[in-house]
Amino acid sequence: MPQITRVLVANRAEIASRVFRTCRRLGIGTVAVHSDPDAALPYVREADVAVRLPGSTPAETYLDVDAVLAAARAAGADAVHPGYGFLSENAGFARAVQEAGLTWIGPDPSSIEQMGDKIRAKELMRAAGVPVLEAPEQPTEVDLPLLVKASAGGGGRGMRVVRALADLEREVAAAQEEAASAFGDGTVFVEPYVEQGRHVEVQVVGTTVYGDRDCSLQRRHQKVVEEAPAPGLPDEVRTALHEAARRAAEAIDYRGAGTVEFLYDPASERFFFLEMNTRLQVEHPVTEEVHGVDLVELQLVAAEGAPVPERAGRASGHAVEVRLYAEDPAADHQPQSGVLRCLEIPQEPGVRVEAGFEAGNEVSTFYDAMLAKVVVCADTRAQAVRLLATVLQRSRIHGVRTNRDQLVAILRDERFVAGEVSTALLPQVALPAPDAGLAPVAAALALAERDRAARTVQRGLPPAWRNVPSQPQVTILGDHRVEWWGGRDGYRVEGAAVVAASPEQVTLEADGVRTTYRVSVAGSDVDVDWPGGHAALVRTPRFVDPAEAVASGSLLAPMPGTVVRVAVESGAHVAAGDPVLVLEAMKMQHTVAAPHAGTVAQINVQAGAQVAAGEVLAVVEEQQEETA
């Protein structure tokens, strides 16, 4: 096959940037495609040339095969890399690329087809001698819990845990609806759900095994923390896993990079085939770090028809990766959107950052909520975990809520540190209680310094100057009330000594310990960073417009999105927790439930409507208890 000269990446954000980096090192040209919301993301600028895919939704852009192929022709690309997600495991797309005379950087379309249907894949693995999980055709209470899974996709979409037989029919229907929306195929199947299992996967290139990874820590069945090698596996289990993955690859004559995923039960030391991802995985960097290999380069080598190594090098060290999401763990991991005002992650030795966004970019509601992957590789697992937790804590992230604090809590949880990982661990890790400490004080003084710098008259006077002060100045930041005094001798506050203050930085001393706080202000939003954490504060205006108040019982949109279903009609009676509407945002569905029992007084939207965050969707009037 001829050498590849220019690669179009049929994807977006960090995976596109990742592929471009290897292409540049190998002297290969690059082409980016982008939707309208993604036009300002870094990967578009990093490519040699970029082609716009008009539209916003995945169906209009990255899932439009004709549009992607037209972009390849227009930009002079001779090869297509699919990244992960979108069309990466679409055999029809792979064949269309080849029929267009382009090189497909991935496995043979027949391999994608065989493993893309998870029901058929299990049959193939059973025939190859790979153990698989199977549920009875007519499950009973003894078989619970069960897991409903989408046959055509992954990433946690179209997946539901069922703990009561009475819920099975409803959860199957919900999984079918979500799978059809995400993958265009609503086929689902049911298998046993192992509560304390571990998600262990094996990286292959062709039939060569490049070690294993543990991806057990998940929310909504989507991975959050990954590491290589998988900790605590008995040697015989590790060897058997690698052999099973090799047999799986041989069974379909696999070419290129892929991952065989298993569910491992530590209690019985048995493992079962889950699925094979016929593409590059999000978590591939941890394998690269410990094996000293570039998996994207091996994909390109295989696509050019050259032989790949028949044996992988020995793993060295330990790598841990976390996925930094724009989401609110305290609100059931609801995705967040908005302008990312700051994204600064310390670039210490051993730290690798794969970011899809930079400061100033808008996080839209149309795609996955992952902002970046942060990877640390060190000689030992303990060193990698400790450094990663510290790097995350010292990062500055402003503009959207993230799971950063939850990630730090996981990495410092004694069970995780001890290697006691399982798919049940993440919900058991308590979210750290919000503790702003002296951050509101630092924010109030920085705001005072900003006000002083903005004066047009009497600029030389100290802040809040009074000849005879009678009371302190007050700054309200959400739930925090800060009282402070200003004058020729500087600032005074309760509980701390003010060492220095400027519009961007405040140093306070409490109990003999000095701490410096960095303060960033954007409108009414005030972000404070210090070595112990971060506080996102909102300056409360002195006067509030009554027109901005909403009626009691109003159901507000938790994020921008699309209304996919209205579950009740106006006038209906609902109980607390009953679903009222279903929103779709960032490829996930979110139920908006009644806050209390009562009557639906009004419905303000209908299915298909686009809504903004904070918009009043419906009003449920609270049911008043009757008295004698």
Share of the chain above pLDDT 90, in %: 67
Range in 282-286, 529-533, 557-561 with the lowest mean pLDDT: 557-561
Same domain, 218 and 69: no
Q: Tell me which of 558 and 592 has the higher pLDDT.
A: 592
In contact, 473 and 484? CB cutoff 8 Å: yes
Peptide bond connecting 145 to the previous residue in cis, omega within 30 degrees of 0: yes
Same domain, 479 and 573: no
Residue 284: is its pLDDT beyond 80?
yes
Last residue of one domain, picked from the residues 56, 87, 105 = 105
Mean pLDDT of 468-487: 89
Q: What is the pLDDT of residue 78?
A: 97
Same domain, 149 and 250: no
In contact, 154 and 277? CB cutoff 8 Å: yes
Residue 511: is its pLDDT beyond 90?
yes
Same domain, 185 and 202: no
Q: Tell me which of 460 and 507 has the higher pLDDT.
A: 507
Same domain, 298 and 387: yes
Tokens of 424: 């049940």
Residue 146: is its pLDDT beyond 90?
no
Q: What is the pLDDT of residue 267?
A: 86
Q: What is the pLDDT of residues 10-21, one digit of tens each?
A: 999 999 999 999
Same domain, 516 and 554: no
The strand ranges marked E within 206-288 are: 208-219, 222-228, 257-265, 270-277
Residue 152: is its pLDDT beyond 90?
no
Burial of 136 (0-12, 13-18, 19+ CB in 10 A): exposed
Q: Tell me which of 466 and 401 has the higher pLDDT.
A: 401
Q: Does 476 map to a domain?
A: yes
Considering its fold, how many domains does the chain have in total? 5
Range in 143-152, 287-296, 297-306 with the lowest mean pLDDT: 143-152
- Report how far residue 374's alpha carbon sits from residue 355's, in angstroms, rounded to the nearest whole number: 8
Segment (H or E) for 483: strand 480-485
Range of the domain at 101: 6-105
Q: Does 115 map to a domain?
A: no
Same domain, 101 and 45: yes
Mean pLDDT of 66-82: 98
Looking at residue 561, which CATH number applies to its domain? 2.40.50.100
Q: Does 152 map to a domain?
A: yes
- Report how far residue 186's alpha carbon sits from residue 198's, in angstroms, rounded to the nearest whole number: 27
Same domain, 371 and 278: yes
Q: In angstroms, what is the C-alpha Rg of the chain? A: 27
Same domain, 236 and 322: yes
Range in 182-186, 251-255, 327-331 with the lowest mean pLDDT: 182-186
Same domain, 463 and 354: no
Q: What is the pLDDT of residues 265-276, one digit of tens each?
A: 998 899 999 999
Q: What is the pLDDT of residues 323-369, one digit of tens each?
A: 999 999 998 888 899 999 999 999 999 999 999 999 999 999 899 89
Q: Show the DSSP H helices in 469-570 as ranges.
A: none
Please give the mean pLDDT across all residues of the chain.
91
Mean pLDDT of 214-236: 95
- Report how far residue 179's alpha carbon sits from residue 158's, in angstroms, rounded to the nearest whole number: 4
Looking at residue 423, which CATH number applies to its domain? 3.30.470.20
Q: Does 121 map to a domain?
A: no
- Report how far residue 209's alpha carbon sits from residue 502's, in angstroms, rounded to the nearest whole number: 56
Residue 110's DSSP bridge partners are none
Q: What is the pLDDT of residue 544?
A: 56
Same domain, 577 and 455: no
Q: What is the pLDDT of residue 628?
A: 45
Q: What is the pLDDT of residues 83-131, one digit of tens each?
A: 999 999 999 999 999 999 999 999 999 999 999 888 889 999 999 999 9
Last residue of one domain, picked from the residues 384, 399, 428 = 428
Q: What is the pLDDT of residue 413?
A: 97
- Report how far residue 396's alpha carbon sits from residue 534's, in angstroms, rounded to the nearest whole number: 8
Using alpha carbons, select from 35, 111, 20 the residue that is nearest to residue 68: 35
223-229-230-233 Cα dihedral, nearest 10 degrees: 170
pTM score: 0.84
User: What residues contact residue 358 under an 8 Å CB cut-off, 6+ apart?
Assistant: 42, 340, 343
Q: Does 254 map to a domain?
A: yes
Half-sphere exposure of 366 (CA within 13 A, CB side): 19
Last residue of one domain, picked from the residues 506, 538, 570 = 538
- Report how far residue 446's alpha carbon sits from residue 477's, in angstroms, rounded to the nearest whole number: 13
Q: What is the pLDDT of residues 377-428, one digit of tens each?
A: 999 999 999 999 999 999 999 999 999 999 999 999 999 999 999 999 999 9
Same domain, 614 and 563: yes
Confidence category of residue 143, pLDDT binned at 50, 70, 90: confident
Q: Does 521 map to a domain?
A: yes
Q: What is the pLDDT of residues 39-59, one digit of tens each?
A: 999 999 999 999 999 999 999
Q: What is the pLDDT of residue 625?
A: 58
User: What residues contact residue 346 under an 8 Å CB cut-off, 6+ apart?
Assistant: 391, 394, 395
Q: What is the pLDDT of residue 624?
A: 67
Share of the chain above pLDDT 70, in %: 94
Peptide bond connecting 229 to the previous residue in cis, omega within 30 degrees of 0: yes
Looking at residue 21, which CATH number applies to its domain? 3.40.50.20
Q: What is the pLDDT of residue 169?
A: 86
The dihedral region occupied by 317, where left means phi > 0, alpha psi between -120 and 50, and beta the remainder, is left
Residue 546: is its pLDDT beyond 60?
no
Q: Does 86 map to a domain?
A: yes
**Other CB atoms within 10 A of residue 20 CB:** 24
Query: Both ends of the chain: CA-CA distance in Å?
Result: 87
Q: Does 434 map to a domain?
A: no
